[in-house]
Every structure is written in structure tokens, then in C-alpha cells.
Amino acid sequence: MTSADPKRDFAVDVVRTLKEAGFTALWAGGCVRDLLLRNPPDDYDVATSARPEEVQKLFGPRRTLAIGASFGVILVRSPRGGQGGDVEVATFRTEGPYVDGRRPEHVSYATPEEDAHRRDFTINGMFYDPLEDQLHDFVGGRDDIARQLVRAIGNPQARFTEDKLRMLRAVRISARFDFELEAATADAVRGMAPEILVVSQERIAQELKKMLVHPRRARAISLAHHLELLTIILPELTLVVATAGAAGGADRWHLTLETLEILKDPRFELAFAALLSQIGGPEDDRGSAKLAEVICRRLKLSNQEADDVAWLASQRSALRGATSWSKCRLKRLLAQPAIGDLLKLARAGAVAAGSDLTDIAFCEAYLATTPREEIDPPPLITGDDLVAIGLQPGAQFKELLDGARDAQLDSQIQTREEALALVRRLAGL
């Protein structure tokens, strides 16, 4: 019988091929956890007694890629192409000391039980044989899943000393599955929180992205705050967090969490802008935008990500009074590439604060019912047209072009000739 899941089929094939060649082979880590939770795994990892060179020989050079051969990891490509997915095959191993808080100095090949004990959390430390339908649990992961608990394997301080990023992973995984973080594990995170800065900003940003696009983003951010991680990686939030419990609208921290909670399926830039939405003063959109840009650059986000987050932060009050605006002002804002995110952010923030939604609803309706070519039509004239009528390039150019553009958006002019006539009048020609 053919399965409806080609990824699973291929992962079974990988295990079967290794076992038929005389090696031990088991599914490992997150896919086993997800199966016990009755969630379809995003991908499958295999742990095996085969050495990297043996894996490569068995599957052939065209279907293998050494993505971490020094750590015993080989990527095996599916013969079905992208539909079957790829499977990471790692040799059972133990690890030497983590000299930089990121990666081990060396690895040694080991037994499945030894391999399990070097992993991060019990729910991620199990193995499963899909051919025998047998679970191999050396760390109590099945029991912790039943108790809905995230627990570090062995000594939590030792696990976090090995890789400091595991502290953020503890937060993200707890929030993702709505599990409790075991007390000793939580205490270790809180005690070691300042050491998270050993981790590169890029890796921190990757964890933040995963947290913020997940439906339980508000719980993840709240937990990161309670474990004293949040204001270490984002010190700009210190004053916002300090407002927790303040009376009325002064409680900017809970307003932030409520806004995050209300957002539905946001992309990262929108969710991150929501997290940073209260970092400036209540009316200081420009200050908020500058702080947001500093944060984005520190986290080494892409230029586009940084620009979108900073723009959203700069427009917190941009929709206020929109029902009374001129058409040109309204259309200029609604033509912005990230206007959809701004409307989502404004609505979520207003609902969280119990504020009036009239201006937001007006902009949403206008955008939904007005053709794009009417909101943002091609300009009637350019700087070249101004030069052609004898004007010299300079500061006046922008004023004249803006004047023509506003008249066009206000439906006062419709043709290039009308735009040039308006410019001549404005320029005194």
C-alpha cells in the first residue's frame, strides 16, 4: 500500500537500506516527538551506527552531501526529488567540550543511549524504529510528553553551557507545544540568561523568527521575559516591560502582549514590529523607528526586513484622522508596499487597547474597494519633463513634482499636458 506521505516513505526507506546493510538505524529527535504528539513531522532525521563514509558509500555520491561530516552528519537526497524530501543521517555520537558555547571541540562515535544523553531536552532525545514500530527512550521523553513538560536531559546547566542557544530553544519549544518548563531547567535558564550573548546575533534572530511567526508567539515572548532572557537580547524593551501592572493605558507591556496575541498568521516583520511597537514614547513614532532600525541592524536582519520593521514602527499613529484626509494624502499612504501589515498592526493594537477603529476600518474599506491603478497611478510627469520646459534641477524639483502628483491623486488633473501647465503656474513661467 502506498502512503500519502512521501517524506515518511523516504525516511522509512533510508532506515531500511541502512539496516539491510547491517547497521543500526533509527528515526531521531523532533520527528519522534511529533509522532508521539500525533503531529505530522516537518522532516525526518535518522541516527545510525554507520560512519559518514559508510553512509556515503551506501547511498552513492550523487545522492549524498556531507553537510557536517566532522560531526558525523550526511544529507541523503530523495530519488523522488523535492517531493520526497531529504533526510539527515547522523552517526550515533558523544561530544567533547563546547569551548565557545556553540559547538563541540570534537565528537566520538557512540551507542544510541550515549547519543541520547548528549541531546538537549528529553522530548527531543528519543529514537524510533519505523520497521519494528519500537520506541527507544533512554531519557524519559515519553513520560515528559505525557506530563506536558520540557526538561533538559541530565544537568540543565551542563546542557546550556554546551550550547547557550538552547536557552531560547527551551522557551520556543515550551510555547510551541504549550508545555511547562521544568523547574530546574527554568532556574538554569534564568541563572545563565546573560550568557545568551555568547551566541551570534544571527542565531538569536533565527530563534526569534520561529517564535514570532508561531500562533503562541505571545506566550513565548512572555516566558522569555519571565526567564530574564528578553531584555538581555532586546534591552530596548526594558522600559516597556517595567510598565507591567501599571494602571490604565500606562501598562505598555501587556498591551504589547495583547497585540501579539491578536495578530493572525503574521509574517515575521509584522510580528517583530508589534513586539517593538511600544519602545518609543506614546507619540514618538520617529524615535520608535530609529530604535527599531538599530535593533534590526544589531540582529543582522536583511535590509528589506529592517526597512519594513522600521517603517511599521514609524507609522504607529499614521492612520489617525484618516476619514478627514485629502485623497492625495490617503492614497500616498495606502500605496506603500507594507500597508497591509500596517493595517493589521493598527487594528490589533487598537483592539488590544480598546481604541476606536473608525479610521482603520475606513482605510481597510478604501483599499479593498479602490483599484490599485487609482490609488497609485503612474506619475504624469518626471524630472526629465521639467528639464524639457527649461527648469534647472534643484530643490524646487521635488516641490513641483509633489505638487503635480498631489493634484493627480486628488483627481484635479488627468493628463501630462495638464500636469505641465500646473508646473508652469507653480514655477511662475
pLDDT digits (tens, 9 = 90+) for 221-270: 999 999 999 999 999 999 999 988 888 778 999 999 999 999 999 999 99
Residue 217 lies in a domain: no
* Domain termination site, one of 334, 354, 376: 376
pLDDT at 200 over 50: yes
Task: Looking at the structure, tell me whether residues 366 and 391 fall in a common domain.
Answer: no
Residue 227 lies in a domain: no
Q: Tell me the mean pLDDT in the region 128-146.
A: 98
Q: Please report, for the domain that includes residue 105, its CATH number.
A: 3.30.460.10
Residue 78 lies in a domain: yes
Could you tell me the residue range of the domain that residue 359 belongs to?
Answer: 234-376
What percentage of the chain exceeds 90 in pLDDT?
A: 81
Task: Looking at the structure, tell me whether residues 5 and 122 fall in a common domain.
Answer: yes
Task: Looking at the structure, tell me whether residues 372 and 341 fall in a common domain.
Answer: yes
Residue 187 lies in a domain: no
pLDDT band at 2 (very low <50, low <70, confident <90, very high): very low
Nearest CA among 206, 225, 196, 213 for reference residue 300: 206
pLDDT at 137 over 90: yes
Task: Looking at the structure, tell me whether residues 92 and 62 fall in a common domain.
Answer: yes
Task: Looking at the structure, tell me whether residues 281 and 401 fall in a common domain.
Answer: no
* Domain termination site, one of 138, 169, 202: 138
Task: Looking at the structure, tell me whether residues 414 and 303 fall in a common domain.
Answer: no
Task: Looking at the structure, tell me whether residues 255 and 361 fall in a common domain.
Answer: yes
- pLDDT for the residue numbered 275: 96
Residue 388 lies in a domain: yes
Is the separation of the CB atoms in 227 and 193 below 8 Å? yes
Which positions ≥6 away from 314 have C-beta within 8 Å? 285, 286, 288, 289, 292
Please tell me the least confidently modeled range out of 17-21, 101-105, 260-264, 331-335. 101-105
* Domain termination site, one of 138, 173, 205: 138
Task: Looking at the structure, tell me whether residues 117 and 27 fall in a common domain.
Answer: yes
Task: Looking at the structure, tell me whether residues 394 and 339 fall in a common domain.
Answer: no
pLDDT digits (tens, 9 = 90+) for 29-87: 999 999 999 999 999 999 999 999 999 999 999 999 998 766 779 999 988 665 568 99
The C-alpha atoms of residue 6 and residue 12 are separated, in whole angstroms, by 10
Task: Looking at the structure, tell me whether residues 390 and 334 fall in a common domain.
Answer: no
pLDDT at 294 over 90: yes
For 321, phi then psi, to 5°, come to: 80, 15
Which positions ≥6 away from 57 have C-beta within 8 Å? none
Which amino acid is located at 412 in the chain?
Q
Nearest CA among 143, 135, 138, 203 for reference residue 179: 143
Residue 133 lies in a domain: yes
Q: How far is CA 225 from CA 5, 145, 254, in A?
A: 39, 24, 12
Mean pLDDT estimate for the chain: 92
SS3 content of the chain, % helix, strand, coil (to 5): 55, 10, 35
Is the separation of the CB atoms in 87 and 44 below 8 Å? yes
Report the run of H or E that residue 17 belongs to, with start and end: helix 6-20
Is the alpha carbon torsion for 100, 102, 106, 110 positive or negative? positive
Residue 37 lies in a domain: yes
pLDDT at 281 over 80: no
Task: Looking at the structure, tell me whether residues 88 and 128 fall in a common domain.
Answer: yes
pLDDT digits (tens, 9 = 90+) for 351-372: 999 999 999 999 999 999 999 9
Which positions ≥6 away from 325 have C-beta within 8 Å? none
Q: Tell me the mean pLDDT in the region 298-326.
A: 95
Task: Looking at the structure, tell me whether residues 14 and 109 fall in a common domain.
Answer: yes
The C-alpha atoms of residue 95 and residue 110 are separated, in whole angstroms, by 10
* pTM summary value: 0.89
Residue 222 lies in a domain: no
- Looking at the structure of the chain, the number of domains it has is 3
Which positions ≥6 away from 188 have C-beta within 8 Å? 152, 156, 157, 159, 160
Is the separation of the CB atoms in 31 and 14 below 8 Å? no
Q: Which three cell numbers stand for residue 425?
A: 503656474
Pairing outcome for strands 73-77 and 64-68: antiparallel
